[in-house]
Amino acid sequence: MFHWLEKNPFFFAVVVFLVIAFAGVVTILPNFSEASQPIKGLKPYTVLELAGKEVYKKDNCLSCHSQLIRPFKSETDRYGQYSLSGEYAYDRPFLWGSKRTGPDLHRVGNYRTTDWHENHMWDPKSVVPDSIMPAYKHQYTNMADIETAYAEAVTVKNIFKTPYGPEIAEGKAAFEKHFKDVVLPEAKMITAGMKKADIKAMVDSGEIPEIVAIIAYMNRLGNKRTQ
């Protein structure tokens, strides 16, 4: 019965594949549709927030910060309500992280402010004296890639039916209109809470540095998800 297994590489490979695949089919498939349902009132990220999420990925914040509050009292005391599956419905990719060298950020928008982030990213020790986090000064000079963030919004709207309005549409013209009408005003609301004059000047001249985008993203993490 098992004779052919050891002799025929093709049959052998097929059997190995089936054995390997079995677990994936059972553990992953059944919950696929259920787990992707958003919680009630969850809003998709704005384009500026998506650009901030890209900065979060680019500077790889998730190598030290999680976005997953576990259902323990010690965690809910420290970070707030434990995380719900539906809160991540528009997170592509998921950014839970696997290591907390720094604190969890899943609800950081509830208790940190724009100017706190502004100081913290420039020099973490100025806010938390014992911090071992590096400063991210380049976020104050690098420009956020708004167009790519917009392209992402268009993609998830068209393919995954993420509920964006008609203003998210294909093409350069639609992007430029959205940038002027929505993204820039939103960035100005962020810089209104910031102190650095050069950042304000950049946004006024129509350029959005990474720091503005990532603060928009940070502020979003928390109750603002559904507001």
x/- map, 82-111, another protein, by CB under 8 A = -xxx-xxxxxxxxxxxxxxxxx--------
Helices 184-192 and 197-204, axial angle in degrees (round to 10): 160
Nearest to 110 by CA among 143, 81, 73: 81
Nearest approach, Cβ of residue 212 and another protein (Å):
17
143 binds another protein (CB under 8 A): no
**Interacting residue with another protein among 74, 161, 166, 197 (CB under 8 A):** 74
Instruction: Indicate the length of the chain as a whole number.
Output: 227
21 binds another protein (CB under 8 A): yes
Q: How far is Cα 159 from Cα 154, in angstroms, rounded to an integer?
A: 8
Nearest approach, Cβ of residue 201 and another protein (Å):
22
Query: Which residues lie closer than 8 Å to 104 by C-beta, 6 or more apart?
Result: 65, 66, 67, 68, 69, 75, 78, 79
What token pair was written down for 63? 């190598």
Specify the stretch interacting with another protein by CB under 8 A; choose among 11-19, 115-123, 182-190, 193-201.
11-19
Nearer to another protein, 108 or 194 (CB): 108
| Dihedral sign computed on CA atoms, order 113, 114, 117, 122 | negative
Nearer to another protein, 65 or 202 (CB): 65
46 binds another protein (CB under 8 A): no
Whether the Cβ atoms of residue 114 and residue 80 lie closer than 8 Å to each other: no
Residues 26-45 that bind another protein (CB under 8 A): 26-32, 35-36
Count of residues engaged in binding another protein, rule: CB under 8 A: 91
What token pair was written down for 218? 């940070």
126 binds another protein (CB under 8 A): no
2 binds another protein (CB under 8 A): yes
**Interacting residue with another protein among 80, 81, 110, 151 (CB under 8 A):** 151
**Interacting residue with another protein among 116, 147, 186, 200 (CB under 8 A):** 147
4 binds another protein (CB under 8 A): no
Q: How far is Cα 148 from Cα 141, in angstroms, rounded to an integer?
A: 18
**Interacting residue with another protein among 11, 13, 192, 226 (CB under 8 A):** 13
What token pair was written down for 103? 């604190």
Specify the stretch interacting with another protein by CB under 8 A; choose among 67-75, 107-115, 180-188, 218-226.
67-75
DSSP class per residue in 38-53: PPTTPPPPPHHHHHHH
What token pair was written down for 41? 């009132």
Kindly report the number of other CB atoms within 10 A of residue 193's CB atom. Answer: 14
Nearest approach, Cβ of residue 172 and another protein (Å):
7
